[in-house]
Amino acid sequence: MTASLERGLNAFREQIDAPVASFFSSCVHCGMCAEACLFYTETGDPSYTPIHKLEPLRRVWQQEYTFWGRLAKAVGLSKPVTDEELAQWETLVYDSCTLCGRCSMVCPVGNDIAYMLRRMREGMAASGHAPEGLVGATRRAVTIGSPMGVKLPALQAQIGHTEKDIGMTIPVDVVGADYMLLLSSMEIMNFPEFIGAIARIFSKAGVSWTISSEAFEATNSGIQIGVSEIAAELVQRVVDAAEKLKVKNVISPECGHAYMAIRWEGPNLIGKPYNFKVVHILELLDDLRKQGRLKISGKETQRLTYHDPCQIARRGGVVDQPRHLLNMVAENFVEMPETGTMNWCCGAGGGVSSNERADGLRLSAFKRKKKQLDVVRPDALVSACSNCRIQLEDGLEENNMDMPVLSLTETIAEHLADD
Amino acid sequence: MTTISNEREFRAALDKLDATQQRLLAARFVTSVLPLCTDERISHAVAVAADSEASAATLAEALRTAKAATIDCHARCGAEGDWEAQAGYFVARAAIAALTPLGQLPGGSAWQAAMSCRMAQTSKSIVSGEETAGLESEQQYRMLSTYMNS
């Protein structure tokens, strides 16, 4: 057995906790998870059945933690997991799974299959079977602080440009601010107007906020690749910055997995509760709306629909807030079929977008979103995740669908009432 | 003689322009940063936007081309960022803004094109370390003043 395989199998053993063991022993092999997975429904390939993606982990559980499995292994009826099998499973675990969690929603016995896939990635990464793109992103996140290599001077340049455009100062390293805003590298690189939108909204609503120059990155590649030590280190950087600036709240921006990482996994990763609250930007905007601090002027007349980012809606619970906000700024907001907690993923989350090898599959998976859009035929598509936005633009272009993709936060900012 | 000297005047003046005027001016904005983009499709799209006689069908086709080019050059999530390439991405976005019919973009075509051109210069400044974004906005004020006085 190679050292890397041993590391991987040890990681599998460590990941088989009580939930994973009970999920495997509860599985009734019904296959319902297949019909919930867009990689299966859009390709028809049975190997994309979510529970099948877990087969090496299931074998380790069975062979080492069940009586009959141990016996079968001892008499040679059940073969040990090999390096070749893990290499074969790499594409199933990383290319054809966005950790969207839709499979977990339909499991009749309540198995959280996405949770298990997240656990399985720990073993895959430990055994050296993680995609090159995610490995590079994770390395940059650790060494530079951003999976895309965005350094502080680049953020400062974007802030400087934004300040000139909007005629406002963007607060950086303000001690005692109520809110510390995190940004994804995708926002800094592809959608810097998000920073201006936030500044304008917060100025009008009277929100005390800041950006930290020491920890501005929201994303967490450690979660996506499956290395909890790295994930914890990235969370700790945010915690340290928030404590240093003595903020009361940390805002997760328009990035799906960043919210799941900092809001839901973060305290468990670092092993202690935060002394600040984490809110998603849409939660905060909706709170401002409820408090009457978000004054809007005019409405979008075009037909708008909303794509729920999986980690924000299904895994994060932020479902009603975007709808309240959209109804504030849209005259003609229409829902796609199967939205909210049962929305279909865009096809690019969970690290799939950083994995070039998965490009073809990612665009095949988008056909599910196309089917949803074809039902309501909107003029524009609104979302709240930069990665979703890029995938949606990519998929729309691939399918000759002419439809702008808008940020919900930026759309709100465009409708702020004058004083 | 009109002179635009700040952002408020700039935006107010742009708001008064009709669809064709916005497109032609946006094309001028994009042309000034066109060297930051190496994609020939964008050069072609901007040339169409700058043609006052361009038909609706030609403009629509150029818009489709610009959108396809933009999709090809955005930074992908998790990939190592290349600010030089990113400058090209913002030029491509500016070209899309120039060709998008009025009313479909918040703030108008010319305003959106101007913003994307500034972002292109900011991306370039991140590579070079030289401050160029402020210079671009001043250049845009001059271009608008010249346009309004012509």
Q: How far apart are CA B17 and CA B25, in angstroms?
A: 9
Average pLDDT over residues A378-393: 96
Chain A contact for B132 (CB, 8 A cutoff):
no
DSSP for residue A265: I
Rounded to the nearest angstrom, the minimum Cα separation between A279 and chain B is: 22
Rounded to the nearest angstrom, the minimum Cα separation between B132 and chain A is: 10
Task: Write the CB contacts of A60 (distance below 8 Å, at least 6 apart in sequence).
Answer: A9, A12, A13, A16, A81
Q: Return the percentage of chain A with pLDDT > 90, whole number.
A: 95
- Do A258 and A318 sit in the same domain of this protein? no
Q: Can you give the pTM of this predicted structure?
A: 0.94
Centre a 10 Å sphere on the Cβ of residue A18 and count the other Cβ atoms it contains.
Answer: 7
Mean pLDDT across chain B, nearest whole number?
A: 92
Q: Domain limits at A109?
A: 3-130
Radius of gyration of chain B (CA): 15
In this prediction, residue B133 has a pLDDT band, given cuts at 50, 70 and 90, of: low
In this prediction, residue A290 has a pLDDT band, given cuts at 50, 70 and 90, of: very high
pLDDT tops 80 at residue A268: yes
- Do A110 and A17 sit in the same domain of this protein? yes
- DSSP-based three-state secondary structure for A73: helix
- Do A87 and A176 sit in the same domain of this protein? no
Is residue B63 domain-resident?
yes
- DSSP-based three-state secondary structure for A416: strand
> Which tokens hold the place of B36?
């930051």
In this prediction, residue B132 has a pLDDT band, given cuts at 50, 70 and 90, of: low
Is residue A72 domain-resident?
yes
Is residue A174 domain-resident?
yes
Q: What does the pLDDT read at residue B22?
A: 95
Q: What does the pLDDT read at residue B108?
A: 87
- Do A224 and A359 sit in the same domain of this protein? no
Average pLDDT over residues B119-134: 85
- Do A252 and A317 sit in the same domain of this protein? no
Nearest to B137 among A164, A351, A404 (CB): A164
Q: What does the pLDDT read at residue B135?
A: 86
Is B79's CB within 8 Å of A148's CB? yes
Rounded to the nearest angstrom, the minimum Cα separation between B42 and chain A is: 16
What is the DSSP annotation of A210-246? EE-SS--B---HHHHHT-HHHHHHHHHHHHHHHHHHT
Give me the helix-helix angle, A55-65 and A3-15, nearest 10°.
80
Is residue B1 domain-resident?
no
Question: What is the ipTM, given to two decimal places?
Answer: 0.90
Is residue B131 domain-resident?
yes
- Do A307 and A250 sit in the same domain of this protein? no
Q: What does the pLDDT read at residue A112?
A: 97
Q: What does the pLDDT read at residue A375?
A: 98
Average pLDDT over residues A109-127: 97
Q: How far apart are CA A305 and CA A326, in angstroms?
A: 9
pLDDT tops 70 at residue B49: yes
Cβ neighbours of A137 in B, within 8 Å: 78-79
pLDDT tens for residues B60-113? 999 999 999 999 888 989 999 999 999 999 999 999 999 998 877 777 899 999
Tell me, what amino acid is at A262?
Answer: I
Question: In the listed set A288, A314, A335, which residue is the last one of a domain according to the structure?
Answer: A288
Q: Domain limits at B79?
A: 15-149
Cβ neighbours of B89 in A, within 8 Å: 190
Is residue B117 domain-resident?
yes
Is residue A137 domain-resident?
no
pLDDT tens for residues A276-285? 999 999 999 9
- Do A52 and A184 sit in the same domain of this protein? no
Cβ neighbours of B129 in A, within 8 Å: 153
pLDDT tens for residues A203-223? 999 999 999 999 999 999 999
Q: How far apart are CA A283 and CA A267, in angstroms?
A: 19
Average pLDDT over residues B124-144: 86
Nearest to A164 among B83, B107, B133 (CB): B133
Average pLDDT over residues A398-410: 94
Average pLDDT over residues A22-45: 97
Is residue A341 domain-resident?
yes
pLDDT tops 90 at residue B134: no
Is residue B9 domain-resident?
no
Is residue A221 domain-resident?
yes
How many Cβ pairs closer than 8 A exist between chain A and B? 95
Is A133's CB within 8 Å of B126's CB? no
Nearest to A353 among B64, B77, B133 (CB): B77
Question: In the listed set A288, A306, A329, which residue is the last one of a domain according to the structure?
Answer: A288
Cβ neighbours of A186 in B, within 8 Å: 75, 77
Q: What does the pLDDT read at residue A94?
A: 98
Q: What does the pLDDT read at residue A170?
A: 98
Tell me, what amino acid is at B80?
Answer: E
**CATH value at residue A187:** 3.40.50
- Do A159 and A276 sit in the same domain of this protein? yes
Closest-CA residue of chain B to A298: B106
- Do A153 and A216 sit in the same domain of this protein? yes
Is B133's CB within 8 Å of A160's CB? yes
- Do A263 and A369 sit in the same domain of this protein? no
Tell me, what amino acid is at A32?
Answer: M
Q: What does the pLDDT read at residue A206?
A: 97
Q: What does the pLDDT read at residue B2?
A: 83
> Which tokens hold the place of A351?
């690290």
Residue with structure tokens 């408090």? A291
pLDDT tops 90 at residue B1: no
- Do A20 and A57 sit in the same domain of this protein? yes
Structural domains of chain B, count: 1
| A178 closest CA partner among A198, A201, A202, A159 | A202
Question: In the listed set A254, A288, A322, which residue is the last one of a domain according to the structure?
Answer: A288
Cβ atoms A80, A73 nearer than 8 A? yes
Is residue B4 domain-resident?
no
If residue A278 lies in a helix (H) or strand (E), which one and from where to where?
strand A277-280
Give me the helix-helix angle, B40-49 and B19-33, nearest 10°.
150
- Do A34 and A98 sit in the same domain of this protein? yes
What is the DSSP annotation of A347-359? S-TTTGGG-GGGH
Structural domains of chain A, count: 3
Is B7's CB within 8 Å of A351's CB? no
